[in-house]
């Protein structure tokens, strides 16, 4: 009796499986017939809009005025310039954390959309103000300036 019930359940399972698969295939074919044919020749404008939307998603956590400036630079088709300014602790073009940050920004936004620069001063914040280093920073004409607080060099007494 147990073998008979097992056989009936197995046959019922196979019938259910077959009917489910048939129904699934019919639904797929019906939906494929109802969909319009996608044209492979999309316009450059659509591609640009999609690319622009993807880039703007990356700026969602940024300051509002920087995001607006980024949108403007996209419209003008010029790179958005980010300047990192601070003490040598932020690194250099080849050393420290700056090269990693620069690489990731370029990887995310693309070389044609973003330009990343660095300007370091071996001074404290006060010394840099007295020596008018802000003019050097402004001369870069960056769209976004990220300041790292200048710290006094550590002097160890023996």
Q: Are 97 and 80 in contact, with CB atoms under 8 Å apart? A: no
Q: How sure is the predictor about 21, in pLDDT bands with cuts at 50, 70 and 90?
A: very high
The residues with which 83 forms a beta bridge, in sequence order, are 117, 145
The reported pTM is 0.61
What is the chain's mean pLDDT, rounded? 82
Q: Give the strand order in the sheet containing 114-120.
A: 114-120, 80-86, 144-147
Q: Among 34-38, 107-111, 115-119, which stretch is predicted with the lowest mean pLDDT?
A: 34-38
Instruction: Please determine, for residue 89, whether its predicted confidence score (pLDDT) is greater than 70.
Output: yes
The secondary structure element, H or E, covering residue 84 is strand 80-86
Return the CA Rg of the chain: 30
pLDDT at res. 62 = 82
């Amino acid at each position: 009796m147990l073998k008979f019930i097992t056989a009936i359940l197995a046959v019922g399972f196979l019938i259910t499986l077959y009917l489910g698969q048939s129904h699934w295939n019919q639904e797929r074919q019906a939906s494929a017939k109802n969909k319009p044919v996608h044209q492979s020749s999309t316009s450059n404008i659509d591609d640009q809009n999609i690319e622009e939307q993807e880039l703007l998603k990356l700026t969602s956590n940024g300051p509002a005025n920087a995001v607006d400036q980024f949108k403007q630079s996209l419209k003008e088709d010029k790179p958005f310039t980010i300047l990192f300014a601070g003490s040598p602790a932020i690194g250099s073009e080849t050393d420290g954390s700056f090269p990693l940050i620069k690489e990731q920004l370029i990887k995310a936004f693309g070389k044609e959309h973003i330009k990343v620069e660095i300007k370091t001063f071996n001074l404290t914040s006060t010394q840099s103000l007295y020596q008018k280093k802000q003019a050097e920073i402004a001369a870069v004409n960056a769209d976004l300036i990220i300041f790292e607080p200048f710290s006094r060099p550590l002097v160890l007494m023996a």
